[in-house]
Structures are given as structure tokens and as C-alpha cells.
């Protein structure tokens, strides 16, 4: 299992890998929409109708249709859509660059935000991972009188599944007028919050001064970056973020797939209910096996403390159960020891999860 996984079917809870049907617990397709028939058909139909794209910034109705779906999902005046989720933090921060003077960033923040920072021309200081007390200390040390800080963090960290303590961050930011909280919520949108709007909704922090950038490529099963917000924010992005002027839009097929995925989720609320149930099942089962697992709704569950996780991964693969081991320091927020990252999907059955847990108990 050290070689890259060779997928031979659409991503899903049960799929073909290496010529075998396996239970799959990797990746980020939390609702398995990457292989959903309606999403695939929408992509094919739009591609047949519009081709591979406008070749410029010309209008096509498929983009307007997606905008309408996105505005409805996020409950905002506008949702800026771009070709890649990786670029969405850059688009957000460039749009807001005249609204802040200094950056405070969680030291485990994703590469997408780090790559955006050099384009902003602002001072940047890091604070300890998920540590609001250190954020308060760094704000006190680095924010000068009259300066407006922007605090940057992931909403959900991709390797560990850790939720950023956004409410505590906001308390630390309270003494600073105009302070902005900007999160990369690629693993939160679609999954967290009462209606799936992400980590800000989950934390009760939707509103002025709190912003998110996200992606359609994980929970939503398509592709493209998103920045929900007001018409004023969209105008600032249009004026300041050059990628919105210079980059081609996502192919029409991908925009149509994104719209279809939103339609499917809105029409089948049981998918979100199933995901909540499965996450609880996985987390409680791992705690029963003796692992220290936080009680959160995040569908990324990480375990450590087993002597040889690679061996456990390989033994599980022999039982047609595919899991991933993250090497120390191998990703933006990766632990300093090896960890096993389990992705929970809405389409996993209770029997599948129980089989994984039972197998782990037998092999540990």
C-alpha cells in the first residue's frame, strides 16, 4: 500500500481499487457526490451544450445557474466562483486587502493561504496552532495602535480534522477595532453548520468581519473555489483580485456539476443526517477501542499511538478496507508522529463502519 492508490471507479464508500471491491475511508468526498449519476450527467450535458468553455470571460447561462444555487445555499447576496478552491483564500484576502494592516496566522494554516500572503504586502506573524491564548499574546505584541489585524486559519484542519476555536479567537480579537477573521473552510462547507454553510455557521459567527473561502471539490463533489459574501465584498474582489480578470472560468461542465451537487444535497437532506450518524458511530467506536478521539461533527477522524500504523493499514487492506496513514510533517497540519486519517462518508453503511472497527480491534 505504499504505492499510490489506483482508482478504477468513481470515488465512493464502496469502490474498485486495484481490481478489487473495497471499503474506502480516504479522501474528502463526504457525500460521495463525485460519482453521483445526476452530477455526472449534468457535467456531460453542459459540456455537450457549451463545449469546454468560453475561452474568455464571456457569459454563459450555466455560470448564472450555479450562482443562484450558491446564493441560496449560503444565504448571501453574492458568491464569487473561480476555477480552483486553492485560489479562493487568495481571492478573498486580495479583495479585503485595504481592510487590514497586519496578519496573524495559525502556524498550521493550509498552503493555499500561505501562498496568498506574499501577494498582499502585509506584515505576517504566526501564533501557535489552535491556541487562542497565544493569538491574544501575538496580537498584543504585533498590532500597533490604530492597526486592523486579520486573523487567518483553516476552519477544519485537513489532516487532523481539528476544528479551529473560532469563538475563542473572536474573543481574543475583541480589543481590536476592525479586526477580521478569515478562514479557509474547504473541509467545513457542506458538512458543518445547521444548513451546511460551514465552520462560521457552526460557531455562530456568520456576520460582518468574519469571512470564509471554500471549495466545491470536497463535500460538493465538483470543482472550483467559492467566496460567499455581500455585494460589497464581491465588488472589492472584482476590483482587487487579478485572477478574476485574468484567469479563465471553470469549464461549463464543472459549473453544471457543482450546481447539480447542490441540488442533490438540498433534495436529499438524509445525506447530511446520515453523515452525522456515521461520524458519531466512527468516533464512539474508536473511543471504545481506546483511542483519544474528540467528539465533533467533523468527518475527518485521526488516530495515533499505535506502534505500527503502516502495518495496520496493510493488514486492513488485506481485508479490502482502504485507509490512509499520514507521515509526520507530511501535510500542512500533520502531526509530528504518524497518524491514521479516516474519512467518514454519508454513504458508508453501519455494517461497513462496524467491520472497520471490528477489524481494527482484532489487528491491534
Q: How far apart are CA 256 and CA 220, in angstroms?
A: 12
Block residue for cell numbers 449560503: 74
Residue 332: which pLDDT band, with cuts at 50, 70 and 90? confident
Residue 185, pLDDT above cutoff 80: yes
In a domain, 79, yes or no: yes
Rounded to a whole number of angstroms, the CA Rg of the chain reads: 21
What tens digit of pLDDT does each residue of 193-203 get?
Answer: 999 999 999 99
Question: Same domain for 140 and 58?
Answer: yes
What tens digit of pLDDT does each residue of 25-82 get?
Answer: 999 999 999 999 999 999 999 999 999 988 887 789 999 999 999 999 999 999 999 9
Question: Same domain for 251 and 292?
Answer: no
Among 240, 267, 294, the domain-final residue is 267
Question: Same domain for 94 and 77?
Answer: yes
Among 267, 293, 316, the domain-final residue is 267
Arithmetic mean of pLDDT, 155-176: 97
* pLDDT for the residue 334: 85
Q: How many Å is the maximal CA-CA distance in the chain?
A: 63
Question: Same domain for 170 and 105?
Answer: yes
Question: Same domain for 69 and 205?
Answer: yes
Full DSSP string of 62-121: HHHHHHHHHHHHHTSSEEEEES-GGGHHHHHHHHTGGG-SEEEEETT--HHHHHHGGGT-
Q: How far apart are CA 180 and CA 233, in angstroms?
A: 13
Q: Do the Cβ atoms of 317 and 357 come closer than 8 Å?
A: no
Among 220, 247, 267, the domain-final residue is 267
- The count of structural domains within the chain is 2
* pLDDT for the residue 3: 61
Q: Domain of 338?
A: 14-25+269-363
Residue 329: which pLDDT band, with cuts at 50, 70 and 90? confident
Question: Same domain for 276 and 257?
Answer: no
Question: Same domain for 201 and 328?
Answer: no
Residue 336: which pLDDT band, with cuts at 50, 70 and 90? confident
What percentage of the chain has pLDDT greater than the value 90?
91
Residue 306: which pLDDT band, with cuts at 50, 70 and 90? confident
Question: Same domain for 198 and 277?
Answer: no
| Average pLDDT score over the chain | 95
In a domain, 7, yes or no: no
Residue 319, pLDDT above cutoff 60: yes
Question: For position 52, which CATH number holds?
Answer: 3.40.640.10
In a domain, 3, yes or no: no
Residue 1: which pLDDT band, with cuts at 50, 70 and 90? very low
Arithmetic mean of pLDDT, 304-328: 92
In a domain, 31, yes or no: no
pTM of the predicted protein model: 0.95
Adjacency order of strands within the sheet including 102-106 = 78-82, 225-229, 210-215, 180-184, 149-154, 102-106, 123-127
Question: Same domain for 119 and 254?
Answer: yes
- What SS3 class is residue 326? strand
Question: Same domain for 298 and 215?
Answer: no
Question: Same domain for 190 and 321?
Answer: no
Residue 231, pLDDT above cutoff 60: yes
Question: For position 310, which CATH number holds?
Answer: 3.90.1150.10
Q: E strands, the chain, where?
A: 14-17, 20-24, 78-82, 102-106, 123-127, 149-154, 180-184, 210-215, 225-229, 300-303, 321-322, 324-326, 339-343
Question: Same domain for 351 and 213?
Answer: no
**Intra-chain end-to-end CA distance of the chain, in Å:** 18
Q: What is the DSSP letter of 218?
A: S
Amino acid at each position: 500500500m505504499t504505492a499510490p492508490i489506483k482508482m478504477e471507479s468513481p470515488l465512493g464508500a464502496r469502490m474498485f481499487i486495484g481490481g478489487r471491491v473495497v471499503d474506502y475511508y480516504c479522501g474528502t468526498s463526504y457525500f460521495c457526490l463525485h460519482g453521483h449519476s445526476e452530477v455526472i450527467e449534468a457535467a456531460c450535458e453542459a459540456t455537450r451544450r457549451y463545449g469546454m468553455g468560453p475561452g474568455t470571460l464571456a457569459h454563459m447561462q450555466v455560470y448564472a445557474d450555479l450562482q443562484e444555487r450558491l446564493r441560496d445555499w449560503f444565504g448571501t447576496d453574492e458568491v464569487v466562483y473561480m476555477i480552483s478552491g486553492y485560489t479562493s483564500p487568495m481571492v478573498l484576502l486580495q479583495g479585503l486587502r485595504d481592510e487590514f494592516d497586519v496578519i496573524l496566522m495559525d502556524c498550521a494554516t493550509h498552503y493555499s493561504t500561505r501562498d496568498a500572503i506574499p501577494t498582499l504586502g502585509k506584515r505576517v506573524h504566526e501564533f501557535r496552532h489552535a491556541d487562542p491564548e497565544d493569538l491574544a499574546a501575538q496580537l498584543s505584541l504585533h498590532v500597533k495602535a490604530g492597526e486592523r489585524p486579520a486573523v487567518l486559519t483553516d476552519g477544519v484542519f485537513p489532516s487532523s480534522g481539528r476544528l479551529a476555536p473560532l469563538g475563542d479567537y473572536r474573543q481574543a480579537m475583541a480589543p481590536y477595532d476592525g479586526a477580521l477573521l478569515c478562514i479557509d473552510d474547504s473541509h467545513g462547507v457542506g458538512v458543518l453548520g445547521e444548513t451546511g454553510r460551514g465552520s462560521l455557521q457552526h460557531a455562530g459567527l456568520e456576520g460582518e468581519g468574519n469571512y470564509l473561502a471554500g471549495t466545491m471539490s470536497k463535500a460538493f463533489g465538483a470543482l472550483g473555489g467559492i467566496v460567499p459574501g455581500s455585494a460589497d465584498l464581491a465588488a472589492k474582489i472584482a476590483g482587487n483580485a487579478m485572477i478574476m480578470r485574468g484567469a479563465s472560468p471553470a469549464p461549463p461542465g464543472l459549473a453544471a456539476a457543482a450546481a447539480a451537487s447542490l441540488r442533490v444535497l438540498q433534495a436529499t437532506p438524509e445525506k447530511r443526517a446520515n453523515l452525522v450518524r456515521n461520524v458519531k458511530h466512527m468516533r464512539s467506536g474508536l473511543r471504545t477501542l481506546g483511542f483519544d478521539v474528540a467528539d465533533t461533527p467533523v468527518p475527518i477522524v485521526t488516530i495515533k499511538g499505535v506502534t505500527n500504523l503502516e502495518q495496520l493499514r496493510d493488514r486492513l487492506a488485506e481485508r479490502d478496507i482502504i485507509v490512509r496513514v499520514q507521515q509526520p510533517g507530511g501535510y500542512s497540519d500533520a502531526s509530528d508522529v504518524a497518524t491514521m486519517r479516516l474519512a467518514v462518508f454519508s454513504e458508508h453503511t453501519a455494517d461497513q463502519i462496524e467491520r472497520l472497527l471490528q477489524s481494527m480491534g482484532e489487528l491491534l
